[in-house]
Structure 1
Amino acid sequence: MKLLSEEKKNAVLQSMMDYMEKDKEAIIAANKKDLEAFDRDDQALYDRLVVDSAKVDDMIRAVREVKNQDDPVGKTISDDTLENGLKITNKTAPFGTIMIIYESRPDVTIEAAVLAFKANNKILLKGGKEAHNSNEELVKCWHKALKDNGLEEDWIQYLKMDRATTQEFLRNPDQPLDLIVPRGGEKLINFVKEHAKCAVLISGRGNNFAYVAPDADMEKVIPVIINAKTDKISGCNALDKVLVDKNHPDFEGTLKKIESELSNAGVKIIASSDVIDKLDTNDEIKDENVWFEEFLAMKAAIGAVDGLDDAIETINHYSGGHSNTILTENEADASKFMEQIDSAAVYHNASTRFTDGGQMGVGAELAISTDKLHHRGPLGLKQLVTNKYYVLGNGQIRK
């Protein structure tokens, strides 16, 4: 594929910012059509769908951040000369064409595409039907920015396809396709994994846990749990489960305090059989599958574990491998927890809500990957490249 200069890519991004500012009212008006047609029964999905003036400003800010970052393509990873004289240089290179399949969130049309474009990839956007009007208005901005800078519109394509057409496209794409990033729930992710013929990078579900150790400082526990649970329920980094250690010297009091504070914040509490008799809630967890669920709602599960090892085993079994936190004053226990918990991000005495490209210093992100290849955690600009070996010789042959 054609490699664009950093100057050319940045010129497109500057035009993109200008058009989003100029067309802000049209973008918001298009989003209003989507909101009016949406069933508000799914509050988390509705929240993701909303585009107001502040959200457009956030999109512009995301484009500016990416524009100001260094071009990630063509960077030298290693440079060696072998005994036989071969000079081998490993450099970063574009993937090629990246398809992004996402639900509801129109800001993905900007924030994901801008990263893929700056990394010199062509982008195929397959947004959810609930955001068609918003997405189409935003893609118009992309196409105007590309055209103004002498580039074809096919650098960023918006695909309007139903489920059956999407399935067929994944199986038999009508153009080169190098990587697919599904952003959404487990049903979407499984659908893409089942039908895609190229690499799929999983932007995984949350289902995040907080483990409250016997020596946890409640002055830290309550603010962390409340923030992780209530700050943004639609975020994949939101908290779903709280596990309190049975060895806590005030086990029952700690359970009651956590329940009370969450309830006061408007969170519905469900509980395991071994703690429900100590709580006010009567909503007992009778189906083990609940522990695997990502709630995306003002809902939290409270349970108990017997020691650090039990906490680690429980979390590794049930969590989505996204973000998990330990609340303890014991540095050794915190270190063991963070080393042995198998997730993209692990925390000590901090809210899981920090698993975010901007919060972690990565900048705008394409997704939060829970895959182990090729990268886990926030996928920023530097992670949206692959690599290529350049081998320079002078007639060498292998013997």
Structure 2
Amino acid sequence: MNTLLSIKTRNNVLLTMAQLLEKERAAIISINKKDLEAYKGDDISMFDRLKVDNSKVDEMIAAAKHLASQEDPVGVERFRFKHDNGMQVYNKTASFGTILIIYESRPDVTVEAAGITFKSGNKILLKGGKESLNSNLKIVELWHKALLQNNASTDWVEYLQFNRTETQAFLEKPTQKVDLIVPRGGERLIAFVKQHATCPVIISGRGNNFVYVDKEADLEIAIAIILNGKSKISACNAVDKVLIDENLPNKEAFINKLISKLNTAKIQVLGDAIVSKNHQLEEIASNEVWYEEFLDYKIVVGEIASNEAAITMINKYAGGHSSVIITKDSDKAKVFMENVDTGVVYHNASTRFTDGSQLGLGGELAISTDKLHQRGPIGLQHLVTNKWYVHGNGQTRS
């Protein structure tokens, strides 16, 4: 068992990590090139997430420094109560213990997600994908250096070099205590972890996000938000579906303009039965496409009868991640935001803001589409459980 490190030590490890990332910047980028050259798959979004350049190293350094500046999330008092018999009762935040992060392709997870996990007092088990192995091992080497420089055990950060069979065996029968698992990746990875894990899992990462353009929308805002939502196709906060109110004034001209702008951005536009017929687009093969997260240069545009119909459709097909209403009607926006069942709901703003750093958390472990124990971006203050502290002087219950 690892004894909880003092907040001073945890912060110093994070600051040392930031210094080492800067010092080893060129080496990290060079080693990452080996991973990029070795990647033979055709998943463009995975390749995008795999790449580490100067700006990505800058983000890693900023994440480590910001985490070091944040308040300790452990030991925060959430509730207090004085019993009639004199006992003093407190409920305080506590670390989980050991957290396993299973992830694909993104070496920055080895810094940011691990950093959040470490700052909140947890031991970290990292299981990255084989495509980013060299990059991940280099970053874990820096974690170990940072820990040793601050007289902390390297056991706090452990990298599991498991293949799929070994990972399944570990999930089903862990060889050490695991309190929480966070899978970061595509739907197949998440399904694999859910199927085999024997401890709690935070489900994260599936997007398939919708934008609803209400009949009272500002059309310039609508186009800007849809284009921005498709500006990074590898992100889980990307837009895949657009619903346009059938009563929108100048609807056909708006759809033509939207299609033109998307095509200029090299986005393939598919339509539902009505939009494809009216605008000479390829029609979606079936309604099953509404369920799909694309992670590709592809988007579906369809017509919808009303705000209520949009809410129903989003609740049926979306991934539980993010959704947007574009409207000048604040009452209609309120109805949409209260009734759409996604972790983040937007009024006249882009889904690309669904990100821990953008929503004030400083960083994120994951974006949860579950409802327990935290929904949406999971930051430092959410990566804790709680514990009851009861102080007495001999009380017994009659």
- Per the normalisation by structure 1, the TM-score is 0.98
Correspondence 1:18 to 2:19: yes
- Segments of 5+ residues of structure 2 without an aligned counterpart are none
Specify the alignment match of 1:215 in structure 2. 216
Is contact 1:256–1:278 with CA below 8 Å preserved after alignment? no
Give the deviation of 1:219 after TM superposition: 1.8
Specify the alignment match of 1:274 in structure 2. 274
Cα distance in 1 for partners of 2:205, 2:233 equals 16
Specify the alignment match of 1:250 in structure 2. 250
| Paired amino acid for 2:122 | N
| Paired amino acid for 1:50 | K
Specify the alignment match of 2:351 in structure 1. 352
| % identity of equivalent residues | 54
| Paired amino acid for 2:153 | E
- Per the normalisation by structure 2, the TM-score is 0.98
| Paired amino acid for 1:347 | Y
Counterparts of residues 1-399 of structure 1 (less than 5 Å): 1-39=2-40, 41-230=42-231, 232-281=232-281, 283-399=282-398
Cα distance in 2 for partners of 1:132, 1:98 equals 20
State the Cα deviation string for residues 364-389 of structure 1 (Å, max 9, x = none): 11111111111011111101111000
| Structure-2 change in CA distance of 1:387 and 1:23 (3 Å) | same
| Paired amino acid for 2:149 | D
Cα distance in 2 for partners of 1:293, 1:286 equals 12
Is contact 1:127–1:135 with CA below 8 Å preserved after alignment? yes
Give the deviation of 1:29 after TM superposition: 1.4
State the Cα deviation string for residues 219-247 of structure 1 (Å, max 9, x = none): 211111111112x1111001000000112
State the Cα deviation string for residues 305-354 of structure 1 (Å, max 9, x = none): 11111000000000001000001111110000000001110000111000
Cα distance in 2 for partners of 1:116, 1:164 equals 26
| Paired amino acid for 2:234 | S
Cα distance in 2 for partners of 1:332, 1:25 equals 52
- Segments of 5+ residues of structure 1 without an aligned counterpart are none
State the Cα deviation string for residues 108-135 of structure 1 (Å, max 9, x = none): 0000000100101000000000000000
Cα distance in 1 for partners of 2:319, 2:205 equals 7
Cα distance in 2 for partners of 1:216, 1:20 equals 45
For residue 273 of structure 2, give the secondary structure of its aligned residue in structure 1: coil
State the Cα deviation string for residues 19-77 of structure 1 (Å, max 9, x = none): 11111121111101000011262111111000112211110110000000011111111
Is contact 1:34–1:132 with CA below 8 Å preserved after alignment? yes
Cα distance in 2 for partners of 1:100, 1:126 equals 6
For residue 283 of structure 2, give the secondary structure of its aligned residue in structure 1: coil
For residue 125 of structure 1, give the secondary structure of its aligned residue in structure 2: strand
RMSD value, Cα: 1.1
For residue 15 of structure 1, give the secondary structure of its aligned residue in structure 2: helix
Cα distance in 1 for partners of 2:41, 2:57 equals 22
Is contact 1:203–1:368 with CA below 8 Å preserved after alignment? yes
Give the deviation of 1:82 after TM superposition: 2.2
Cα distance in 2 for partners of 1:150, 1:347 equals 45
Cα distance in 1 for partners of 2:294, 2:53 equals 25
For residue 110 of structure 2, give the secondary structure of its aligned residue in structure 1: helix
Is contact 1:255–1:278 with CA below 8 Å preserved after alignment? no
